[in-house]
Amino acid sequence: MNISPLQFRDEQFLARVEGVFARTQAPLQQLKLEVTESLFVEARDDARDKMLALKARGVRFSLDDFGTGYSSLAYLAQLPLDQLKIDQSFVQQVLESQANAAIVESTIALAESLNLEVIAEG
């Protein structure tokens, strides 16, 4: 499920997520939230705290559109991510561009070294 930075930053976000799952009895372990790098530009600690709270309940996290925004390797080591999604703008050009191929290859190696699943979009 894609979550916008605005939704995630809402003070009631955790309560809303937990409320939905309490009403539906759906297991939180089945939920993977997709967030973008822009979430971590402002209030990174708050975002991390919310992620950790949800992670403790079994929620998984995917970093969507990696490489297109504020790619900081520092937050990759600090956040409880499970998956990295390489943006399709790199993937679609992998056969035509050595630079894009190198970016995709190195991103895959980085994700694997951090024990993250990798999705190459497109």
pLDDT at 71: 61
Question: Can you spell out the DSSP letters for 46-110?
Answer: HHHHHHHHHHHTT-EEEEEEETSS---HHHHHHS---EEEE-HHHHTTTTT-HHHHHHHHHHHHH
When pLDDT is cut at 50, 70 and 90, the band that residue 79 belongs to is confident
Say if CB 39 and CB 6 are below 8 A apart.
no
Domain CATH code at residue 98: 3.20.20.450
Q: Across the strands, what pairs with 117?
A: 83
Mean pLDDT of 93-97: 90
Nearest to 100 by CA among 67, 73, 70, 76: 67
pLDDT at 76: 82
Please give the residue range of the domain that contains residue 103: 5-120
| Spatial strand order in the sheet of 117-120 | 32-36, 60-66, 83-86, 117-120
What is the rounded average pLDDT for all residues in the chain? 88
pLDDT at 90: 87
Is residue 100 predicted with pLDDT exceeding 80? Answer: yes
Higher pLDDT, 119 or 78: 119
pLDDT tens, position by position, 30-78: 889 999 888 877 767 888 899 999 999 899 999 988 877 666 677 788 8
User: Considering its fold, how many domains does the chain have in total?
Assistant: 1
pTM, rounded to two decimals: 0.87
When pLDDT is cut at 50, 70 and 90, the band that residue 28 belongs to is confident
